[in-house]
Amino acid sequence: MPLALLFDLDGTMVDTDPLHIAAWNAMAAPYGKQIDTAFYRSRIMGFDNPTCSAAVFPELSIAARDALSDGKEAAFRAMLGRLHPTPGLGDLLDWADAHRVPKAVVTNAPRANAETMLRGLGWLERFPVLVIGEELARGKPDPLPYLTGLQRLGASAADAMAFEDSLSGMRACVAAGIESVGLQVALEASALLAVGASLVVRDFTDPALWARLQARM
């Protein structure tokens, strides 16, 4: 197997960060709280729901935080309209299919969110391997979700390339030993490079990415 591709979902395949912030704020408003972009990027972006809810509502019980997380995710799904993929991603998936390159989505998003987003993009059937972090013993930034993705694809880390936009996700795929490409959606390139990204691109149209893909085949 010359190559396998593993994709984070939120922020990497489609820019959903504004919707996540709005959904968290809908839950936080009754408590007199609001989160801003800086808080989202440092304390929520890329983490699993227990970590996120603990960051927003540290004073509440785990049960109360879990209930608010469920409400937040329902609010997020209700906000989803027509989704627009990151530029160039459709071409990359077509290229992968043409070259029989296996691919997976590896996400900390709940399954209902992930399937709703992939269905909205028209790509749910294109990803038979969908790894959900909260269904495993540990989510990102632990490498387990990416190691699970590799196992389900029948690939080794040396065969793979992963795409991430968050520090949590980047740490996970780097710890799994996978060549990691950072999407400069919300963070500076320097931040992604500092945690191990081998390449940082604006989107999937970047010539440097395509040169690297060709070199890996």
pLDDT along the chain (217 residues), means of 10: 91 90 95 94 89 96 96 90 91 96 96 92 94 95 98 96 96 97 94 97 97 93
Q: What is the pTM of this model?
A: 0.86
For residues 140 and 169, the answer to whether their CB atoms sit within 8 Å is yes
| Same domain, residue pair 119 and 175 | yes
Give catalytic status of residue 10 as yes or no: yes
Domain count, the chain: 2
Encode pLDDT of 112-123 as tens digits.
999 999 998 999
Instruction: Name the one residue in this structure whose structure tokens are 């749910």.
Output: 124
Q: Which residues face 200 on adjacent strands?
A: 182
And the tokens for 50? Answer: 């227990």
Encode pLDDT of 119-155 as tens digits.
989 999 999 999 999 999 999 999 999 999 999 999 9
And the tokens for 201? Answer: 């691109």
Please tell me what DSSP assigns to residue 170.
H
**Catalytic position from the list 8, 48, 142, 159:** 8
| Same domain, residue pair 106 and 180 | yes
Please tell me what DSSP assigns to residue 85.
B
| Same domain, residue pair 194 and 99 | yes
**Catalytic position from the list 10, 48, 159, 165:** 10
* End residue of a domain, out of 45, 79, 113: 79
| Same domain, residue pair 68 and 88 | no
For residues 145 and 136, the answer to whether their CB atoms sit within 8 Å is yes
And the tokens for 61? Answer: 């019980």
Give catalytic status of residue 165 as yes or no: no
Domain enclosing residue 66, as ranges: 17-79
* End residue of a domain, out of 79, 100, 116: 79
